[in-house]
Amino acid sequence: MSKGSLACVGTGMMLGAHIGPRARRHIEEADVVFVAVSDPLVELWVQGMNANVHSLQPFYEEGKPRTETYRQMVATMMEEVRAGRRVCGAFYGHPGVFAIVPHKAIAQARQEGYAAIMEAGVSAEDCLYADLGIDPGTFGCQHYEASQFMFYKRRIDPSAYLVLWQIGVAGDRTLARFSTGAAFRQVLVDLLVEEGYPASHEVIAYEAATLAISAPRMERMPLSALPSAHLQLSTTLVLPPAQVLQRNRVVLDRLASLTVGA
């Protein structure tokens, strides 16, 4: 029996448009493919590349801790690896971005001595920059998972972009919900106001397009409207800068002195 292996690949965000040739090859040549993607159509598309495809979506259940879901997904993939098969995990977007299962599965496989790799894919972050016309190099960009942002004290710079992921479950401490309500989001709004974002500050609810016939969601609203907004697990909240950049005169003067003495 040949020794098993694992490849976790990204299918990108849009059906058929974002997958790279290396990711496609891993799917086509695998003995078994496990899929965790955003749309049933994407699953059907992956099935067109390999006859032995299994969905990981049934492991998700309302009220079931996601930690248990992820444990079961990793165990299912590793069972096939240990059986000597070439296993491919196909995940929507980038398999290493907001995707615990690929990281855990690859770490487990390597720990047990199996070959395991990750192939990058087009992520929601990549689509966000393109759709919203944001260059993270202009003002800087801070990224946080929304609940983590609420649970821990972070140093926030209101003169840079702030991107909060998985805003639809902001404040969830159970890891078992698919959404949280207005009261949870109001806690987030109050926190953001404390961090220097006015309640009237315009924010953007963003969702990348997953089909070529659909358009990305780029809904603009005042921060105060966030609690009553329609938000999904896939919704990302983007806060443009609320303050202007402030020059660091001490550092600039020091650099100027170095230039003069050069």
Cβ-proximal residues to 29 (8 Å cutoff; 6+ apart), any chain: 86
Alpha helices in 112-181 (DSSP H): 124-132, 136-139, 146-151
- Alpha-carbon dihedral of residues 163, 169, 170, 171, nearest 10 degrees? -150
Asked if 70 is an active-site residue, the reply is yes
Which candidate in 66, 85, 86, 185 is catalytic? Answer: 66
Asked if 129 is an active-site residue, the reply is no
Which candidate in 86, 92, 161, 185 is catalytic? Answer: 92
* Long-range contacts from 186-195, C-beta under 8 angstroms, 24+ separation: 186/227, 187/150, 188/146, 188/149, 188/150, 188/164, 188/226, 189/223, 189/224, 189/226, 189/227, 191/149, 191/150, 192/223, 192/239, 193/223, 195/156, 195/158
Residue written as token pair 């801790």: 65
Q: Do the beta carbons of residue 218 and residue 124 sit within 8 Å?
A: no
Stretch (H or E) spanning 26: helix 21-29
Asked if 114 is an active-site residue, the reply is no
- Angle, helices 66-82 vs 100-111, to 10°: value is 40
Residue written as token pair 């009553």: 228
Residue written as token pair 């109050």: 190
- Alpha-carbon dihedral of residues 31, 12, 71, 104, nearest 10 degrees? 90
Q: Catalytic residues, which ones?
A: 66, 70, 92
